[in-house]
Chains A and B, each alone.
Chain A
């Protein structure tokens, strides 16, 4: 009997070890968190982003533009998950699933003018309220001209 219990526990352990690892977003600490790319202190949490690496480390960003610069420079093999703040709800959402809106008049910490939303409807509501913009998806961000636009 004891042997059986041991076997079951061992199998459970092996199965648990093989299960897919989950990556949770962590809270921003304004005292110590600075953007991995531009070095700015994170004070405008509504625009912050983060990448949970597979090794357990977190990289923090002040703007989606800086987060994309990191992905473009380092690739996405080591990325467990990536999160960005939803501009309307101030909640973490998946960078790869989010809907983005660009308008050069939108203010963001790096002035890139791109904000994120969890749904297309939320993005459209934002555009109605703040001024028309251009809808973008994650794949569009790779070729986006990050910088200030005249």
Chain B
């Protein structure tokens, strides 16, 4: 009995992690610039520092565990670094890179760290195929998945980030492409601040507080992204604050409290997007009148558009609640579509009014607005509403295997039938 008890105590107090014997720091220090270091599988505890051009390549099952509050891996004042096939964990930041020209991070899994990747004052960065998973808890108590500060020429693609404060945080960066990333359950999926020449394509952002938060940024392209289920009290699919020159095109913006919000912004083109089932599809405050939403499709939204005094232009969009007809047969309604609503304007000033959306009195008020404002010629009135939404027409496709199997079955049946007759 005593032996069993001692054995149990042994397993209780023994760390389940057995650290590998290969000395990574020693290998880094001994390596010549440009060398490839193959790291054998195992758990390595420490705070490793790279200050020369190297490739660190982990075998399957290589894990770096930060020893204290310092980063597990620090890369400083160097060029041409490549890190791949490692897992990292620790209390603070997993990877920190400063003053690096040419860094590739790939196939990296980061778990339970406060911040996944932190890069500052660097250029020519490529981060791809990494996964960052934050710990349980409120986003206010966590850092960002990938954070880039004061850097240029960045490509972030094919990453999976979940449960962080901001999935991808970008501050004072020139020239960045963010594409094919998945971010879920974070505060902002991607947060651009003071950025120039930014592009975001084909990202899937689901169930964060806000999908894209773009602030004080000049020149940004948001195309072919899906932003879905940002439905909290302060939830937005996309929010642009103090942004100049933005193109928002071909995105699916679905099931959000507000699909797209524009504040203090100018020269924004909103084109060919699909706004589906948002509480409010597009909202504008202090937006210059050179902002235009055209050729978009609005389906199943409670409020199509709302704004403060001025607003933005609507042109040739499809609205599922449009009730006009097309006598001319040109594909556009003959009566203007009125998105302007008194209730919408109140809701801009007092967001808490959102809880009265779709109440009978609000529906009545909105209907009255639509009748009264038909002659309005300035804003939130579309004079050329499209009557048919543009669906992709799928051509008939021939499935070769199914066709051959069908033919074989037909010929076989005919042969059997004929054989039965002749007998």
Contacts and interface: CB of A to CB of B under 8 A. Distances in A.
A43 B139 contact: yes
A15 to B, nearest CB: 36
Contact of A34 (B193, B215, B234): B234
Contacts of A38: 215, 241-242, 263
Nearest to B193: A111
A119 interface: no
A148 B172 contact: yes
B194 A39 contact: no
Contacts of A40: 213, 215
B194 A111 contact: yes
Chain A contact surface mostly:
loop
A30 interface: yes
A147 B218 CA distance: 14
Interface string B393-407: 000000000000000
A32 interface: yes
A39 B216 contact: no
Contact of B241 (A31, A39, A42, A111): A39
B215 A41 contact: no
B370 interface: no
Contact of A43 (B171, B187, B194, B242): B187
A42 to B, nearest CB: 8
A32 B233 contact: yes
Contacts of B293: none
Contact of A30 (B140, B172, B216, B263): B140
B260 to A, nearest CB: 13
Contacts of A32: 233-234
Interface string A112-150: 000000000000000000000000000000000001100
A31 B187 CA distance: 10
Contacts, number: 39
Contacts of B115: none
A113 to B, nearest CB: 12
Given A30-B140, A32-B234, A34-B234, A39 B239 contact: yes
Contacts of B216: 147-148
Interface string A24-42: 0000001110100011111
Interface in A77-127: 110-111
Nearest to A30: B140
A41 B215 CA distance: 13
B93 to A, nearest CB: 15
B38 interface: no
Contact of B140 (A39, A43, A111, A148): A43
Contacts of B213: 40
Contact of B209 (A41, A45, A111, A148): A41
Interface in B223-275: 233-234, 239, 241-242, 261, 263
B234 A111 contact: no
A87 to B, nearest CB: 18
B234 A148 contact: no
Contacts of A34: 234
Nearest to A147: B216
Chain A CB within 10 Å — which of B140, B172, B215 has the most? B140
B208 to A, nearest CB: 11
B241 A41 contact: no
B171 A41 contact: no
B378 interface: no
Given A30-B138, A32-B233, A39 B165 contact: no
A121 B163 CA distance: 40
Interface of A: 30-32, 34, 38-43, 45, 110-111, 147-148
8 contacts: A34-B234, A39-B261, A40-B215, A41-B209, A43-B139, A43-B187, A111-B171, A111-B193
